[in-house]
């Protein structure tokens, strides 16, 4: 009698999820896949961008929730050890797949077999049940994740980051459409995944509309921002002093990969319109472009410099290579506004980072940017990509300098709700749901 009472008491006193058979639980260790871009690479170079930041920050925060993360990525140099500890509880595993140097993203599908082999080898060296879940990022990783999850008998959670059909529906002039192979691959992954993580409700809708995803599988988790790094800190004046920018200048900034999709040319053309309308602005206008060529932009790496010269604005534009997060935060603080005229943007992490640093954003009304930017409060959303429309909005900031400070303060407040801790907790909930569903299905199949 006393034994059964104590057993019942034990059940009641313990967290129920630890006691009830089949009850959902968080995974202890996950395999995170990032085939085409390493979390160790500098964002803003090559194919490294917001997704790199996303993977690094998410993995670190998941580790603080006692979910160990092993990130598999393609080795791009022979000098790297097979495994590198990125942070406590976060391991980056380098997989040999294809030549280290000079392999474009478009050539990577041919290396997926080799990459999958490397992932399977790492798994084979562990005890059974080592990984509880696979979280793949971008469609290339999704294919490896699909196979790994089937082989290991664990759920697959997939994040698209960008989608071929959405990109192809909003191509920049002269940009190359995404290939049919990618569309087919994404369709297969959407069908195979236990859960799909979307950055915004609109992205979740796109998964259903373009890829016929099961709405119950799509979970919306807003990406976060490193609020310790991206903050107003000691203010605009100090940041300008550090970067050698004039204190009284109007500084519209572009920060990101230089490729047609991101449309930095729209900012340059808008600046040319501004100077045509008011030549006196030339003495107090500085336009920094911080980033490196990427994607289809690699075909003409000097294209933007040549455009600036052709437009007669080379004297006000300052091209700077990609920088680390600390210095990027300084560029955001120093700017009057961040300009993001992208044709497609699944979320627009840069917009949140700039706002966290106290800078308003002028952005295209596409993708996740209407979630990232509060139109009329933390910046302005511009429909379309007409340089004259961007010039009109920039003119508002020139004519009303107090707008920069007022919107900047609202932007800082808005960005506070996008911390990575929130994003990691929400992602952990998605994992828990995926594990529970997977187990339930397993019991149905075996029953």
Annotated binding residue 105: yes
Annotated binding residue 77: no
Long-range contacts of the stretch 378-382 (C-beta < 8 A, 24+): 378/407, 378/410, 378/411, 378/414, 379/337, 379/338, 379/351, 379/355, 379/407, 379/411, 382/341
Backbone angles phi, psi at 18, to 5 degrees: -85, -15
385 C-beta neighbours (distance < 10 Å), count:
20
Query: Residue 431's Cα: distance from chain center in Å?
Result: 19
Annotated binding residue 353: yes
Are the C-beta atoms of residues 390 and 382 closer than 8 Å to each other?
yes
Annotated binding residue 31: no
Annotated binding residue 50: yes
Using CA atoms, how far apart are residues 333 and 411, in angstroms rounded to an integer?
12
Annotated binding residue 138: yes
1 C-beta neighbours (distance < 10 Å), count:
5
Using CA atoms, how far apart are residues 71 and 408, in angstroms rounded to an integer?
36
Structure tokens at 435: 């594990």
Annotated binding residue 257: yes
Kind and range of the H or E element at 338? strand 337-340
Cα 275 to Cα 280, 283, 398: the distances in Å are: 8, 10, 12
Interacting residues of 372 by C-beta distance below 8 A, sequence separation 6+: 347, 348, 349, 351, 352, 355, 361, 363
Structure tokens at 200: 């915004």
Of 346, 84, 360, 55, which is closest to residue 220 (Cα–Cα)?
A: 346
Annotated binding residue 51: yes
Annotated binding residue 332: yes
Annotated binding residue 262: yes
Annotated binding residue 47: yes
Backbone angles phi, psi at 21, to 5 degrees: -60, 135
Annotated binding residue 203: no
Of 163, 18, 52, 62, which is closest to residue 431 (Cα–Cα)?
A: 62
Annotated binding residue 347: no
Q: Point out which residues pair with 33 in neighbouring strands.
A: 72, 136
Query: Which ranges constitute the DSSP H helices of 257-342?
Result: 264-277, 303-310, 325-334
Are the C-beta atoms of residues 140 and 108 closer than 8 Å to each other?
yes
Annotated binding site for UDP-N-acetyl-alpha-D-glucosamine: 42-43, 50, 257, 262, 323, 345, 353
Annotated binding site for Mg(2+): 332-333, 335, 359
Annotated binding site for 1D-myo-inositol 3-phosphate: 36, 47-52, 105, 138, 162, 182
Annotated binding site: 36, 42-43, 47-52, 105, 138, 162, 182, 257, 262, 323, 332-333, 335, 345, 353, 359
């Amino acid at each position: 009698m006393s034994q059964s009472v104590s057993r019942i008491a034990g059940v009641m006193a313990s967290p129920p999820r630890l006691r009830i058979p089949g009850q959902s639980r968080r995974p202890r260790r996950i395999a995170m896949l990032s085939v085409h871009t390493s979390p160790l690479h500098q964002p803003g170079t090559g194919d490294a961008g917001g997704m790199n930041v996303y993977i690094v920050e998410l993995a670190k925060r998941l580790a603080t929730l006692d979910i160990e993360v092993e990130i598999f990525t393609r080795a791009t140099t022979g000098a790297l050890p097979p495994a590198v500890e990125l942070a406590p509880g976060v391991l980056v595993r380098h997989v040999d797949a294809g030549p280290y140097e000079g392999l474009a993203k478009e050539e990577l599908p041919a290396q997926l077999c080799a990459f999958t082999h490397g992932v399977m080898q790492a798994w084979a060296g562990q005890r059974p049940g080592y990984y509880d879940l696979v979280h793949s990022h971008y469609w290339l990783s999704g294919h490896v994740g699909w196979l790994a999850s089937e082989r290991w008998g664990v759920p697959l959670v997939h994040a698209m980051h960008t989608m071929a059909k959405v990109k192809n529906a909003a191509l920049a002039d002269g940009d190359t459409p995404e290939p049919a192979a990618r569309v087919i691959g994404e369709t297969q992954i959407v069908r195979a995944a236990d859960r799909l993580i979307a950055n915004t409700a609109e992205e979740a809708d796109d998964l259903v509309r373009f890829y016929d995803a099961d709405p119950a599988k799509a979970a919306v988790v807003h990406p976060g921002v490193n609020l310790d790094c991206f903050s107003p800190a000691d203010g605009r004046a100090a940041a300008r002093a550090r970067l050698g920018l004039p204190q009284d200048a109007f500084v519209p900034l572009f920060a990101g990969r230089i490729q047609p999709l991101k449309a930095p040319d729209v900012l340059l053309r808008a600046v040319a319109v501004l100077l045509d309308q008011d030549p006196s602005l030339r003495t107090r206008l500085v336009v920094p472009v911080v980033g490196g060529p990427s994607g289809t932009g690699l075909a003409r790496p000097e294209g933007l410099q040549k455009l600036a010269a052709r437009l007669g604005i080379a004297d006000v534009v300052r091209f700077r290579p990609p920088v680390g997060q600390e210095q990027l935060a300084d560029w955001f603080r120093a700017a009057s506004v961040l300009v993001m005229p992208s044709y497609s943007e699944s979320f627009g992490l840069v917009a949140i980072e700039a706002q966290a640093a106290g800078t308003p954003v002028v952005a295209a009304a596409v993708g996740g940017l209407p979630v990232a930017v509060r139109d009329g409060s933390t910046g302005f959303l511009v429909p379309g990509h007409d340089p004259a429309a961007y010039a009109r909005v920039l003119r508002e900031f020139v004519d009303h300098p107090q707008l920069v400070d007022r919107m900047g303060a609202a932007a800082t407040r808005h960005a506070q709700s996008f911390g990575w801790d929130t994003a990691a907790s929400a992602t952990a909930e998605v994992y828990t749901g995926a594990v529970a569903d997977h187990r339930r299905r397993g019991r149905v199949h075996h029953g």
